Chain A
């Protein structure tokens, strides 16, 4: 019988992460299990066959974002007043979409993110990141920069699935 790969192994396969703490999946902490022999020590769990492979930093124009456009309607429905206070109106939806796409791609490639609270039971949806974006104001708020966050799930081969277009404030 072939055993399926563990969730972490599956969701991070072929995904790019900045090689820093809180920006990549946690590796197994063997310091708590000194009895596990060296040859059994895999990346994410004992006997794990996965390898950490260096992937060059992706170019922002090669990143593909999906599920963002469809969520824009709900962003303007649920957080309209918030967007209004940054100087944006309903008619600016396309502009906000393009801005979020552009800023998100750059933030991901620069590693300007943290992993979204790593709640163990949510792993199966994928590895989540919360990007920090410097979002410019418009109209009467022109010249202001808002430190917002946008959440995504990292998919293989340079794809990002949007979870929430504007999910909070950089803390």
Chain B
């Protein structure tokens, strides 16, 4: 799990619902860095995923603004990996610091130095 991956929300909570996001909604990881075990996720108007929906000059202004939400890793499931490279991630990380946590691999929060944050896989607070 990393920058630009397409994800599905797998848990519900009041904060998500209040912002128009429900379990099952598809989004994309928008932040390179992980803060407090969370990625920032962007959700675009769901009509963009509907191949049959036609945008016209008449309905264009009805588009919903993108929603940005900070979401814990355990609430996300990757549905499509992005092609973001380590260089892409590094260039987007504050101060281009390789020590920032930025990826989740096999249940571990990792940085670009290959270090693991958690001791027990999938227990992100361990």
Q: How far is the CA of A20 from the CA of B47 in the complex (A)?
A: 35
| Interface range on chain B (Cβ under 8 Å from partner) | 20 to 34
Q: Are A85 and B64 in contact (CB-based, < 8 A)?
A: no
Interface residues of A toward B: which range? 20 to 34
Given known A82-B55, A146-B60, contact A171–B48 (CB-CB < 8 A): no
- A-B interface contact total, Cβ < 8 Å: 66
Contacts of A171 in B (CB 8 A): 65
Q: How far is the CB of A124 from chain B (nearest CB, A)?
A: 6
Which of A32-40, A73-81, A92-100, A101-109 participates in binding chain B? A73-81
Q: For residues 19 through 47 of chain B, which have their beta carbon under 8 Å from a beta carbon of chain A? A: 28, 30-31, 35, 40, 42, 44
Interfacial residues, chain B to chain A (CB-CB below 8 A): 4, 28, 30-31, 35, 40, 42, 44, 48, 53-57, 60-66, 68, 70, 82, 84, 88, 91-92
CB distance from B85 to the nearest CB of A (A): 10
Q: Are A169 and B66 in contact (CB under 8 A)?
A: no
14 more A-B contacts (CB under 8 A) besides A82-B55, A149-B65?
A: A70-B84, A70-B88, A79-B44, A79-B48, A81-B48, A81-B55, A124-B35, A164-B30, A167-B66, A168-B64, A168-B65, A168-B66, A169-B61, A169-B62
Q: Is the CB of B57 within 8 A of A144?
A: yes
